[in-house]
């Protein structure tokens, strides 16, 4: 048993993804071989530098006569719950097999340090060492940074995708000769993007896109519904835009856009729910919750439609009663959806 363990953390499992080495990697020679193979596979990978740094710290401790060991733990390319669960299991294995009195943690940046609570809950931490690779401030360094942004999907999704969508939004409003609306569209997109990142909605979107990709590659019937959902969504935006463009009062224009587009968008959501149900059925998973989602989408659409109609014409006689009737209908539809959920749970 080692009194002290030097742990290098690779949260996104570059070691496994790029060179196929399973973790944990224990022992100086094993870690050295893994680091060499990783740096040969990708000389720009900072995780290799973290592993070399862990070996250096280990050698310094050995020279001082301390009884220690060096270990590399990795997570998963799906950074988050999946990767952190794998790291926690490996830390438990280190605790059982090596039972160190304390550890030194080596990371290559702030992302790996998100797992530090897992380490603190199991070990006494003597040092957290972040490895920062030295770079010259030259045009060449900038070139390699930009090349990494374009070539690494994980980095590109975070940096290039939002920039590309901003350009698309602004160019769309330029094409329809309303560039002043472009700023509002960009602000709206950024707001949705930040809220999505804060609540993890980007992962749900990634799961949805993966479902679409599978339906296309495997020739599933669900692809027709996905395609139809996209077309319905585009029709909804076009109808809403054409109806609202004539209004100059901002809140009336927005309400008109919503009033005329929400029915199409709701149908799009229902089509997506049916597509997800078909995918679940083909994979032998429960489909009830997707039909419940369809009913809930309809009820939400009714409430939004009724609210927009009331905002457009609040002075019309009995408008408040029409709005109340719409809300009641929405509640009735959602109750039917919940009934389907309960019936499905009882059958299961």
Specify the long-range contacts of residues 150-159, CB closer than 8 Å, at least 24 apart.
154/12, 154/77, 154/79
Quote the CA–CA distance of 331 and 335 in Å, as a whole number: 6
Global pTM? 0.54
Domain ranges of the chain: 4-130, 137-199, 215-347
| Tokens standing for residue 204 | 């749900």
The CA distance from 303 to 311, in Å, is 12
The per-residue pLDDT string of the chain (348 residues; one tens digit each, 9 = 90 and over) reads 668 999 999 888 889 889 999 889 999 999 999 999 998 998 878 888 889 999 999 999 999 988 999 999 999 888 778 888 999 999 999 998 888 999 999 987 756 678 888 999 999 999 888 776 655 445 445 655 666 666 666 666 777 778 888 888 888 878 877 777 788 888 888 888 888 777 777 777 777 777 777 777 777 788 888 889 989 999 998 999 888 888 878 788 888 999 999 999 999 999 998 988 888 888 788 777 788 888 889 999 999 999 988 888 877 777 788 888 888 988 888 888 777 666 655 555
Question: Are the C-beta atoms of residues 322 and 306 closer than 8 Å to each other?
Answer: yes
CATH of domain 4-130: 3.40.50
């Amino acid at each position: 048993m080692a009194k002290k363990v030097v742990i290098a953390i690779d949260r996104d499992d570059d070691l496994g993804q790029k060179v196929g080495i399973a973790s944990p990697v224990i022992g100086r020679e094993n870690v050295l071989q893994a680091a060499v193979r990783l740096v040969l596979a990708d000389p720009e990978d900072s995780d290799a530098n973290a592993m070399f740094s862990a070996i250096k710290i280990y050698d310094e401790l050995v020279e001082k006569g301390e009884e220690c060991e060096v270990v590399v733990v990795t997570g998963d390319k799906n950074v988050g719950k999946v990767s952190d669960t794998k790291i926690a299991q490996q830390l438990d294995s280190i605790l059982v097999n090596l039972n160190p009195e304390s550890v030194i943690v080596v990371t290559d940046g702030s992302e790996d340090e998100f797992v530090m609570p897992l380490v603190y809950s199991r070990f006494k931490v003597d040092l957290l060492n972040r490895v920062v690779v030295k770079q010259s401030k030259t045009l060449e360094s900038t070139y390699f940074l930009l090349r990494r942004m374009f070539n690494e999907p994980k980095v590109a999704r975070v940096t290039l995708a939002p920039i590309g969508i901003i350009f698309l939004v602004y160019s769309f409003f330029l094409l329809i000769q309303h560039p002043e609306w472009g700023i509002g569209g960009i602000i709206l997109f950024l707001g949705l993007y930040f809220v999505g990142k804060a609540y993890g909605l980007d992962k749900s979107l990634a799961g949805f896109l993966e479902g679409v990709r599978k339906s296309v590659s495997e020739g599933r019937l669900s692809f027709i519904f996905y395609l139809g959902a996209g077309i319905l969504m585009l029709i909804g935006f076009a109808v809403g835009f054409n109806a609202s463009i004539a209004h100059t009062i901002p809140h009336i224009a927005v309400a008109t856009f919503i009033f005329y587009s929400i029915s199409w968008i709701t149908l799009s959501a229902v089509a997506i729910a049916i597509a997800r149900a078909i995918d679940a059925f083909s994979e032998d998973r429960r489909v009830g919750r997707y039909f419940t989602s369809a009913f809930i989408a309809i009820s939400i659409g009714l409430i939004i439609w009724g609210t927009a109609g009331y905002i457009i014409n609040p002075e019309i006689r009995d408008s408040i009663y029409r709005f109340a009737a719409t809300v009641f209908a929405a509640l009735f539809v959602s109750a039917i959806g919940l009934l389907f959920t309960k019936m499905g749970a009882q059958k299961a």
